[in-house]
Amino acid sequence: MRFFSDNAAAVCPQVLQALGDANRLDTAYDGDQWSARLDDAFSNLFETPVRALWVSTGTAANCLGLAALCPPHGAILCHEFAHIEQDEAGAPGFFTHGAKLTLLPGAGAKIDPDAVEEACGRVRADVHQVQPAALSITNATEYGLSYRPAEVAALGAVARRHGLAFHMDGARFANAIAFTGSDPADVTWRAGVDVLSFGFVKNGGMNAEALIFFDPARAEVVPRLRKRAGHLQSKGRYLAAQLLAMLENGLWLDNARAANAAATALAEAAGHDRLVHPVEANELFVRMTADEAAAIRAQGFDFYDWAPGEVRLVTSWDQDMAAVGRLADAIRAL
């Protein structure tokens, strides 16, 4: 039973069904009927007119979004453990033509408004220093923490004060919403977010993510950037159909709740002292000696060694709750 990564999970049946339903001739690229419905579908969800584009990976979503917000000679402020800094092979540098990532500290990979303030304050306005142009946060964070609307709004305020555009990497946005119970609008545009990478692949999708612009004017150049990066699929309807299927009847939220529930069950078993971070999404970071980890693995459970004395468990939309129960028991028995 694998608790490695939500990327490893299968695709949920409704998404697979949607691919079959979309399987007929239609206009190529994004001229089809499914792609045409995206703006409306996401505008409804976010209660404001948005521009929504499909892309096939979270890295592409993040970096196309950032390229629309930051010039080559600008800087993007992000957490030192942000996915864009740690796990995207330098893609932000590629898509932005060399913009800089300025790294901020923060517990649980969360960014504090003071850290943004401080980073902006350090920069002289002269031509010798790279000027901050954008702020990027991850929600839920790389350590599984979820931002509350007020926290995002505080970041939005400091971003606005310094003229920074505001991007949210929502690879696990659904998990964050499922945990906080926030209105998606409250934690995004109402809090000052300009662009959201809305993840679906980790949440039961196959290979479609949504890139959401809350100010459609900012999106204008993006279809060109997407094509120029080789991300305009010629049969785009199969991406759009995935997203629509995930939105229908709140499937995205149901899937995220299921993954979160599995994580919560494991967190309770682990108990406060073993948890490195609060569990606010579908990831757990658990203190465990090498011997303890080996003992758990011997019972058939797989997971990452994250750091010395620390393992990472990730739960998925389709996690077998019986297996979760057995793992919880195994952890309790340590």
Residues 128-157 touching a second copy, rule: CB under 8 A, are 128-131
Judged by CB under 8 A, the stretch of 52-60, 133-141, 152-160, 282-290 that binds a second copy is 52-60
3-state helix, strand, coil in the chain (%, to 5): 45, 15, 35
Which residue of 14, 36, 93, 261 would you call a contact of a second copy, by CB under 8 A? 93
Q: Measured between alpha carbons, how far is 178 from 167 in angstroms, rounded to an integer? A: 20
Q: Does 34 help bind a second copy (rule: CB under 8 A)? A: no
Instruction: For residue 289, report the phi and psi dihedrals to the nearest 5 degrees.
Output: -70, 165
Q: Give the interface segment with a second copy, choosing from 34-42, 68-76, 138-146, 211-219 (CB under 8 A).
A: 68-76
The answer to whether 189 touches 46, Cβ cutoff 8 Å, is yes
Residue whose token pair is 């901050």: 132
Exactly one of 14, 16, 37, 334 binds a second copy (CB under 8 A); that residue is 16
Q: Which of residues 209-238 bind a second copy (CB under 8 A)?
A: 221, 223-235, 238
CA distances from 117 to 120, 122, 123, 133, 221 (A): 5, 9, 10, 13, 29
Find out whether 106 and 112 touch, Cβ atoms under 8 Å: yes
- Is residue 36 part of the contact set for a second copy (CB under 8 A)? no
Where residue 76 falls (left for φ over 0; alpha for ψ -120 to 50; beta otherwise) is beta
Work out whether 27 is an interface residue with a second copy (CB under 8 A). Answer: yes
The piece of 61-69, 172-180, 248-256, 323-331 that touches a second copy (CB under 8 A) is 61-69
**Which neighbouring-strand residues pair with 79?**
104
Q: Which stretch binds a second copy (CB under 8 A): 39-47, 49-57, 160-168, 325-333?
A: 49-57
| Identity at 167, one-letter amino acid code | H
Nearer to a second copy, 264 or 316 (CB): 316
Among the residue ranges 56-64, 141-149, 249-257, 287-295, the one whose residues contact a second copy (CB under 8 A): 56-64
Residues 235-254 that bind a second copy (CB under 8 A): 235, 238-239
* Residue of 23, 44, 289, 299 interacting with a second copy (CB under 8 A): 23
**Cβ of residue 201: shortest distance to a second copy, in angstroms?**
6
State which residue, 190 or 231, has the beta carbon closest to a second copy.
231
Q: CA of 39: how far to CAs of 44, 112, 130, in Å?
A: 9, 32, 35
- When binding is defined by CB under 8 A, the residue of 37, 73, 162, 218 that contacts a second copy is 73
E strand segments, 105-185: 131-138, 165-170
90 binds a second copy (CB under 8 A): yes
Query: Cα dihedral sign for 177, 182, 187, 188?
Result: positive
> Phi, psi at residue 225, to the nearest 5°?
-65, -40
For the bound state, the minimum distance from the C-beta of residue 8 to a second copy, rounded and expressed in Å, comes to 5
Q: What's the chain's length in residues?
A: 334
Task: State the pairing for strand pair 195-198/165-170.
Answer: parallel
In the set 5, 14, 43, 48, which binds a second copy (CB under 8 A)? 5
As a whole number of angstroms, the distance between CA 244 and CA 19 comes to 11
Residues in 256-285 that interact with a second copy by CB under 8 A: none
